[in-house]
Amino acid sequence: MSENKALLRIENVETYYGNIRALSGVTVHANPGEIVTLIGANGAGKSTLMMTIFGMPRARTGRIIFDGKDITQMPTHEIARLRIAQSPEGRRIFPRMTVQENLQMGASLDNLQHFDEDSRMVFDLFPRLKERINQRGGTLSGGEQQMLAIGRALMARPRLLLLDEPSLGLAPLIIKHIFEAIKALNKNTGLTVFLVEQNAFGALKLADRGYVMVNGIVTMSGSSADLLADPEVRAAYLEGGRH
């Protein structure tokens, strides 16, 4: 594929926690308008890669290029200003702010004139949040917090959306809604999505391309169809739960 036009390009990145290498020589890219997924076991380094894009932790070697710009050493808040939005692992909503305020925080990178329009979109996606609009984030249930984290990321009108396990702790019906919404956003607006998921089936069905990560190394990549058809991928990530 036209790798040079990639919106996000991660080249040969290595990341360490202390002296422990979490990522080694990771090279992945996401073209504009693509949904790319990263699958792999727990502890493989998927979330680390997500965080490395944001410079927390910094990549020790390699380069991360967003829209032709080297963001490897860029401060995190400036990376966010490039309209890379993230729904991080562990939700990380602002617990003492109301749902509305959390969404405003998400929109703060954008001028607030789109706020009504965008928040309407989020509430359409998660009607539950609308019911809870004046409740503090910390008093929401776990799944509702997850919805809020995704909604907050969407409020920034991102060019690249990083989703770290959006389905975590959500009811099957909501997961479906979210996946539908991601698909719709991607289709209608050309939003580029980088998705980390345990739910390999759902993720591969949604994505255009996928990467498989094992122990901090990308071992396989290809179109979702190829990965779904690959016996190794099936054995490792798709089977097991459906006995």
Partner 1 sequence: MAVTQTTEPDSVLAKALKEGLIAGALALGLFCLVVGFRTEQNIRNELILTHRWGLLTIFVLGAAILRFVITYTAPLRAERKKIKRAVAVAKEPSAFRRSFPKIGLGLLLLYPLLVILILSAYQGSMMGGLQASLKYVDNFGIQILIYVMLAWGLNIVVGLAGLLDLGYVAFYAVGAYSYALLSTHFGFSFWLLLPMAGIFAATWGVILGFPVLRLRGDYLAIVTLAFGEIIRLILINWTAVTKGTFGISGIAKATLFGIPFTPGPTGFAALLGLPNSGVYYKIFLYYLILGLALLTAWVTIRLRRMPIGRAWEALREDEIACRSLGINTTTTKLTAFATGAMFGGFAGSFFAARQGFVSPESFVFLESAIILAMVVLGGMGSLVGIAIAAAVMIGGTELLRELEFLKLIFGPDFTPELYRMLLFGLAMIVVMVWKPRGFAGSREPSAFLHERKMISGEFTKEGHG
Partner 2 sequence: MISEVQKNASAILRVERLSMKFGGLIAINDLNFEAKRGAITALIGPNGAGKTTVFNCITGFYKPTEGMLTLTRQNGEEYLLERMSDHVITKRAKVARTFQNIRLFSGLTVLENLLVAQHNPLMLSSGFTILGLLGFPTYRKAAADAIEKARFWLEKINLVNRADDPAGDLPYGAQRRLEIARAMCTEPELLCLDEPAAGLNARESADLNKLLLDIRAETGTSILLIEHDMSVVMEISDHVVVLEYGTKISDGTPDTVKNDPKVIAAYLGVEDEEVVELIEKAEEAGVDDITAAVDLLSTEALHEIEETHPDAKPVELIPASTLVETPAAKAPSARKAPAKPASSKAGAPAKTGVIKAGATSNALAEPRGGKPDPLILIKGIGPVNERKLNEHGIFHFDQIAAWKKADVIAAEAYLAFDGRIAREDWIGQAKKLAKESQAKPAPKKTGGAK
Which stretch in 55-63, 71-79, 95-103, 191-199 sits in contact with partner 2 by CB under 8 A? 191-199
**Chain center to CA of 85:** 8
Contact between 241 and partner 1 per CB under 8 A: no
- Least separation in angstroms between residue 125's CB and partner 1 is 31
Dihedral sign (CA 207, 213, 218, 219): negative
CB burial class (10 A; 0-12, 13-18, 19+) of residue 232?
exposed
Contact between 8 and partner 2 per CB under 8 A: no
Q: Which is nearer to partner 2, 35 or 53 (CB)?
A: 35
Contact between 142 and partner 2 per CB under 8 A: yes
d(CA 65, CA 3): 12
* From 75, 127, 142, 190, residue interacting with partner 1 (rule: CB under 8 A): 75
Contact between 15 and 60 (Cβ < 8 Å): yes
**Chain center to CA of 117:** 22
Choose from partner 2, partner 1, none: what does 46 bind? Cβ within 5-8 Å by kind: none
**Cis status, amide bond into 95, omega within 30 of 0:** no
Choose from partner 2, partner 1, none: what does 74 bind? Cβ within 5-8 Å by kind: partner 1
Choose from partner 2, partner 1, none: what does 225 bind? Cβ within 5-8 Å by kind: partner 2
Instruction: Kindly list the residues in this chain that would bind partner 1 in the complex (CB under 8 A).
Output: 16, 18-19, 70-71, 73-75
